[in-house]
Amino acid sequence: MSRDALSFPSSSAKPIEHYLPESTGLARPLYPHVTLTYATSLDANLSLSPGVQTALSGTQSKAMTHFLRSKHAAILIGAGTAIADDPSLNCRIEGVGGYGGPGLEGQPRPVVLDPKGRWKVNAESKVVKLAKEGRGLGPWVIGAQDTPIEESKHRALTDAGGSYITLPTDSSGRFDWANILNILGTKGITSVMVEGGGSVINELLSPRAIGLVDSVIVTIAPVWLGKNGVQVCPDERKNEGGVKMSVGKLKDVRWLPLGEDVVLCGRPAWQ
Ligand SMILES: NC(=O)C1=CN([C@@H]2O[C@H](COP(=O)(O)OP(=O)(O)OC[C@H]3O[C@@H](n4cnc5c(N)ncnc54)[C@H](O)[C@@H]3O)[C@@H](O)[C@H]2O)C=CC1
Ligand SMILES: Nc1nc(O)c(N)c(N[C@@H]2O[C@H](COP(=O)(O)O)[C@@H](O)[C@H]2O)n1
């Protein structure tokens, strides 16, 4: 077994495969398959507070996350997570490229939403270092069209094989999710694993983001994090203009115990 590699048994992988992207083609014309996945506490928190990385997944569910990473073309996070966690965003399952396998096979493309250029990506960022070591792909940063990237950040990205992509923003400085997925699709990304954080997840679970998420895979850890946590709690699903909103329920649900955690898989029933 190669250094740092994780393993995930095929008996545990089998029930999850039902929720994974097809290995060929885009799920919808120009839109990648989207799997929304995260680890949560019993009080629906992702972390103790916005700037604090909090380990929730146990050994087996962490290996599951890396198995999921190996099955997606890209991993997407918001700038808040990139700043708080300095994440690796690579796949460390035994047998993928950089972990016993050839080239970069099975490594997902890290994508960071950073409209205002808040993430100080540089040569010391973990994701950049891993790409240079041949253990991950270089990150793509999606920034706002009216926010030019600093030269040093641009160099850090391109030296690692990454790039800077721009999109238009709305009046509150947000990208439209259809635009995000569309630009990734046009760049050959057929599937995206959205990992967080709170603001990204809450947007994609909101009643407005209809038809964009294909699967939801949530690790629930037996822990409470308390009231200052970054909570998964999407916008209210209220009736507007007489149009009745459905509740944010999952269908096609499976619960899988993994060590001390339980993994919930399903598909949005509201689209
Ligand atoms: N337990 C878990 O599985 C995970 C936990 N986390 C935790 O979550 C926390 C970070 O969460 P948040 O502070 O909510 O940050 P976040 O990671 O959701 O990033 C928010 C930022 O992303 C950008 N963004 C998001 N949606 C956008 C859109 N539609 N258009 C343009 N820009 C957009 C904006 O810059 C926004 O300020 C950290 O503490 C991190 O450790 C993060 C990922 C997974
Ligand atoms: N699945 C999962 N379980 C947890 O307990 C977590 N804290 C996270 N966080 C996400 O994973 C990223 C860190 O990944 P690396 O090991 O550095 O590659 C972090 O940025 C969150 O997206 N996930």
Q: Which atom, in ligand 2's list, is nearest to the CA of 90?
A: 18
- Measured CA to CA, the distance from residue 132 to residue 140 in angstroms comes to 14
Best mutation site among 35, 48, 52, 53 for ligand 2, i.e. most ligand atoms within 8 A of its Cβ? Answer: 53
pTM (two decimals): 0.96
Q: Is 57 in the pocket of ligand 2 (CB under 6 A)?
A: yes
Confidence (pLDDT) at 236: 82
Amino acid 117 reads: G
Higher pLDDT, 82 or 1: 82
Kindly state the tokens that stand for 7: 């393993």
Q: Could you read off the pLDDT of 100-121 as tens digits, one per residue?
A: 999 999 999 999 999 999 999 9
Phi/psi of residue 251, each to 5°? Answer: -120, 175
CA distances from 65 to 13, 124, 258 (A): 11, 24, 12
Which ligand is located closest to the Cα atom of residue 232?
1
Ligand 2 atom, smallest distance to 77 CA: 22
Which pLDDT band holds residue 29 (cuts at 50, 70, 90)?
Answer: low
Structure tokens at 20: 């994974």
Task: Please state, rounded to an integer, the average pLDDT across all residues of the chain.
Answer: 94
219, 196 contact by CB (below 8 A): no
Q: What's the rounded mean pLDDT across residues 203-220?
A: 93
Residue 25 has pLDDT above 90, yes or no: no
CATH superfamily of 32-232+255-269: Dihydrofolate Reductase, subunit A (3.40.430.10)
pLDDT 10s digits, 233-247: 998 877 766 666 678
Tell me which residues have their CB closer than 6 angstroms to ligand 1. 38-39, 46-47, 50, 52-53, 56, 77-81, 84-85, 113-115, 174-175, 195-200, 203, 230
Could you count the other beta carbons within 10 Å of the beta carbon of residue 159? 13
The dihedral sign for the CA sequence 71, 76, 81, 86: positive
Looking at residue 245, its pLDDT comes to 67
Domain-by-domain residue ranges, the chain? Answer: 32-232+255-269
176 vs 184: CA distance, rounded Å: 13
d(C-alpha 201, C-alpha 219), whole Å: 14
pLDDT tens digits, residue range 135-162? 999 999 999 999 999 999 999 999 999 9
User: Would you place residue 49 in the very low, low, confident or very high pLDDT band (cuts 50, 70, 90)?
Assistant: very high
Strand 215-220 versus strand 261-268 pairing type: antiparallel
pLDDT score for 119: 98
Which band of pLDDT confidence, cut at 50, 70 and 90, is reported for residue 37? very high
Q: Please list the alpha-helical segments (H only) found in 31-102.
A: 59-70, 79-85
